[in-house]
Structures are given as C-alpha cells and as structure tokens.
Amino acid sequence: MPPRLIGHSAIRSQLAKRFETQTLAKTLLFQGPDSIGKKLVALELAQKDLCEKKTGCGTCEACRLYLQTNFIDTPPPNLLFIAPEGKAGQIKVESLRHAHSLEGGIFEWLGTSLGSSLHKFVIIDDAHQLNSTSGNMLLKLLEEPPKNVYFILITHRPEAMLPTIKSRCERVVLSPLGSNEIEQIALSQSWDRGEIMTMLSLANGTCRYIDSERYDRVHLQMNTWLKILEGKGDLRDIDNLLEQKKQDEDTASNLWLRESLELLLSIVNDVKRIQDDAEPRLLFYADRLRIISEREIPLRQLEEKLFDALRHVDRNPSAIMVLQEIAFLMP
C-alpha cells in the first residue's frame, strides 16, 4: 500500500479539476525536491481515474483494490510505473522494453484496451536517470502520445534531463513540505516526537530521512564530517564513510556520493551563517558548528571543491578520491 499523501493541496485540486474537465496536458513533468511526495501526487491521479466516484475516495471497491496493489510488481491495470534500477541507478531501455513483463514492454501495454472510459498512466520516476537510448525511445512516444494515455515524468533534477523531453512536457512544480506536514507523516510512521525535531532540521522540507535506516546513516555521515572539521578526524574516518557506502546496497553509487557531499555543503553553509551572526539551520548540531566556526577552515575553497565535485558526480568518479581530496582541505 502506498504511504499516505499529505500536503500539496492546491496543486492536487488543480490537477484533479483539469483532469475531470479533460484540460490536463497528456505529458507532464512533476518537478520539486526529492522525497516530498511527487510520486504520490501522480499515483493519486491514477487512483481517481479508477475510482467509482472519480474522487479517489479510498472506500469503493476499485479504490480498495487499487490501495492493495503494489504499484511496481503488481500494479493496478491503468498504471505502468518505471523507475531506475541497479547500482548504476539508470533507467535503461530494457526497463521500457520489458515493462510489465510483457514481451513488447511499454509498446504492448499501451496497445491493450482498458475500456473507453479509463485512461492509462505511465509514471516515470527519477526521469533524469533516463539514458540517451531510453530517453530517445520515450521521446518517440511523447511526440505522438497514444490516445487516453497520460505520461507523468518525475524529477528532482530537471537540469539533468534531456531538453528535448522537457520541452514536450508541461511542468508542474511542487514545493517542499511544511514542518507540520513532515511531522504528521513522521507521527503516522511511529516516530518518537523528540526525534522528529532533529530529523526536521536535516530534512529541509522533505521526507528524505523518514526512513529510519536512512536517518541513522545520515547521522553517521554528519558525525564524520563534523569530526573532521573539528580537527579530530583523519583519513580512517573517510574509510569508515566508504564502508557505509558499501553496506548501503539500495542506493546507487553516485547518489550516495551526492548525498554525502550535500551534507557537507549544508554544514559549510551553516558555519558561514554562524560567522555572519545568523542562526544555523542544523539546530541539533549547533554547539559543534559554533566550535567549528571558530577554527581556521578554508571555507570558500572547500565550497568550490564541493560544487565542482557535485557537478561531476554523475560521471561516477571514484568516491574515495573525491572524499579524500575534500578531507585534505580541512585542517
């Protein structure tokens, strides 16, 4: 069962209205930060279409069946869900060719009939991970979309998408969630109230760290970077970070490195904030950040190095080299 959708009410009602009045574009690009519920907003449209009352009521027979399905392995009949696979984290052409375990993949699925009143939804998660072959295959479909089919592409990195694909889509921009919304979601997943504040200060308006394993991992990473910035760490700490990377089998290699670099960047930004007499965002780590802000750290150089590493992270550079180079900049 998909997690509960909270937030984005204005966009959701706008989309529903345009869907009902058949004025919604057939190719959409949902963009906005990672882990804010973009996928759930897309899935809600597919549920509404199946719903007997067309509202996504959650109680009619069709909704109940919809909510029982796992939208990846045993998806509802009107839905084709495509997402990156494997450690490389790409959407390969095979993912389109073998979608739904049909011989003809997406093409065969699009060719089958659901009855005249229903629509089909092709939802492509992390669409920036399409490579040039799969991207071009999709582009052909987007150029002449079959009748009654909605394509919803989802991304938190629109800048990394093929411009030709982007230009075919109407953009729907989703904003970060409010703290109270993230709190509601965390409480519904049995989070301890005391821990939620810490998670919120790391989450930046997203549900990125609501998964407890991910939350533990981010703490370890933060601690490592803070320790190095405090002058108490050494290269063994980088080895420990890489050991975590090995254990994290679910995250694609470049995504792991991106996250680690972004965390360090958020620390650097906070240290600068403290030096400018502003409050740090990472409140939970405020005391340690204050100590770091008094040390002589080449922040600008560190920042430039981080931006540079982030720009190249998708070329799958060696994580150990990148992290060591960065660690060398710290006193």
Residues that bind Zn ion (CB under 5 A): 51, 57, 60, 63
Of 77 and 176, which has the nearer Cβ to Zn ion? 77
CB of 119 to Zn ion, least distance (A): 15
In the bound complex, what is the minimum distance in angstroms from residue 25's beta carbon to Zn ion?
24
Q: Which is nearer to Zn ion, 60 or 118 (CB)?
A: 60
C-beta neighbour count of 206 within 10 angstroms: 18
Residues 6+ apart with CB under 8 A from 46: 66, 76, 78, 79, 121, 123
CB of 68 vs Zn ion, minimal distance in Å: 13
In whole angstroms, what separates CA 281 from the centre of its chain? 21
Minimum distance, C-beta of residue 61 to Zn ion, in the bound complex (Å): 8
Give least dist CB 24 to Zn ion, A.
19
The continuous run of DSSP H or E covering 218 comes out as helix 212-229
Two structure tokens written together for 56: 């996504």
Long-range CB pairs of 213-221 (<8 Å, 24+ gap) are 217/244, 217/248, 218/259, 218/263, 220/244, 221/259, 221/260, 221/263
Q: Least Å distance between CB 106 and Zn ion?
A: 27
Residue pair 27/168 in contact by the 8 Å Cβ criterion:
yes
Q: Quick one: CA torsion of 133, 135, 139, 145, rounded to 10 degrees? A: 110
Q: Which is nearer to Zn ion, 1 or 236 (CB)?
A: 1
Whole-number Å distance between alpha carbons of 260 and 142: 35
Nearer to Zn ion, 61 or 170 (CB): 61
Which stretch of DSSP H or E encloses residue 31? Answer: strand 27-31
Give 49 or 183: the residue with its C-beta nearer to Zn ion.
49
Distances 241 to 66, 218, 245, 257 between C-alpha atoms, Å: 41, 11, 6, 10
Q: Which is nearer to Zn ion, 60 or 329 (CB)?
A: 60
